[in-house]
Structure 1
């Protein structure tokens, strides 16, 4: 199993707070990889919320190709953060090149377009850059999006965090997703490392998605360029959320009804039975099989946790006004927020979606048997 930890905070915090929580859950991951999603940034990046930030790893030749690519499209660098390793690589961590987060000023013609058009352009550029780097592995791109930085590497999370100096103030942020990987299903590949990101949607998973192949084939058939990759069977969880929000125009309360719909008997008593029956029929190829615990963050900075019906992967949510955490184990919560009311900790069951809104005031529980908000 992997171990997951996420923080939602009113004030920026260091990513090392999440890494330290992963470290106390070390028995649940083998140090084969670590991934970080950082959003709602503080520091200098927080002062340029609309500037798309490119996150990745580049060789010297890859940087030259990146500069030429961005220059041809009229993008101008506003700020670059290079994570210069402070020590020798940890055991098992290769020497790769430059770990970079770079914010850009978009060209005037793109800035004049609608938000949807800009978001599509950023996604297409990320995909194109990823394809450019695949043969020589001189360009690895994890995200190209405003107010977002991603870091992925092979190795023990704590050792990698210290190696890259992730405690630096430029990386302080309000939303963090962190995963310590146990390599069980696939070869070690940075694109297989959680979290997974697409147009502001980010998720990570502890479990095994045994319905992966039909879900992947359905998503690939939608003709959307962002539905690609799939080095991990868990990447589809981010894409299903993206599909729910953007194609179905449904909110977080509907996500569980897409991936784990109610039984016909449960649905017969539901006040929204007709709508849920249509969703179940239309999205039947997106129904998952577990066991899976999924933690994610939405474009509006809402964070959530869900379980599937098998409920065989641990997960708990807790905190206090101003800061909440989602963790694979209670000891992770204890490490990150020791002064919370532990009696208020909540472990979602198979019908629940645990939600923390950006204001970080409380944990809201949405149960699949409850009435739903009206679709947009």
Structure 2
């Protein structure tokens, strides 16, 4: 999974990055502030109800129409305050309807989901923060335009996980790194360097309660997984679903596998539920930097041009061959893996 892991602090790592590439100086400054805010969030979340009713609903709704929890608002405030201290021109947040101008003339913009998985707050299940850092778009007439760039231009992206450990996953300079917060020294320490997603994996994550709403291509793929060793894949699979994108992604980085949030036939879900700019794009960069892949079933996520700052996209990411396999089912719902050269070549499918 990793190579030559060294116990280096986040700030030292970021200094090494900027020494090699001055063009990433602003992005590294933003990451340092995001890391500091994530550490604060971790301490607050660890207190749970001792801090107050952080999982309680408020009178506000976010851009998705979901009722915001107290912790959603706290997270949004903390990360926006942190980004004000960095050279960030504009921020887009899931909790804000419109872009917020921070520092005019700064060289980067940030799209952020301050609190992913907030439905899990009171259940003591891992939640997190997801972010994407982009260069400003020269000649942009208004703040929104900066974010309507394909994900492949991201300077950096990543996510924090507030779980049994507090982890910061960072995709920058073509690699994906994992840092763990060490409360003894008050710093993020790199614990996995140059992460590579395992290819030989038997786990997939999808919300099976939506089965009846899926397209035939998704149904058939999942049906073949459920058949296990008796089906065309010739091996048994395990299904996971945490309802926390950061937790699902972290597991895939460590163990390999596949995440699917497809579009479906429910009203308003034709393009899934996840937002392209601050959920799908950063996860795609994390995955690709770790040797994985990310698609909407038809297109590489990082090649999609956002139509708006809160536009949704289906998201399928993880081990390359599994993502490619799902794409084949999308192209032809009657695709048979038993006839596919991929399976004959790999051999691993027969366990």
Q: TM-score, normalised by structure 1?
A: 0.28
Say which structure is richer in helix.
2
Q: TM-score, normalised by structure 2?
A: 0.30
User: Which structure is richer in relative contact order (CA contacts within 8 A, separation 6 or more)?
Assistant: 1
Say which structure is richer in strand.
1
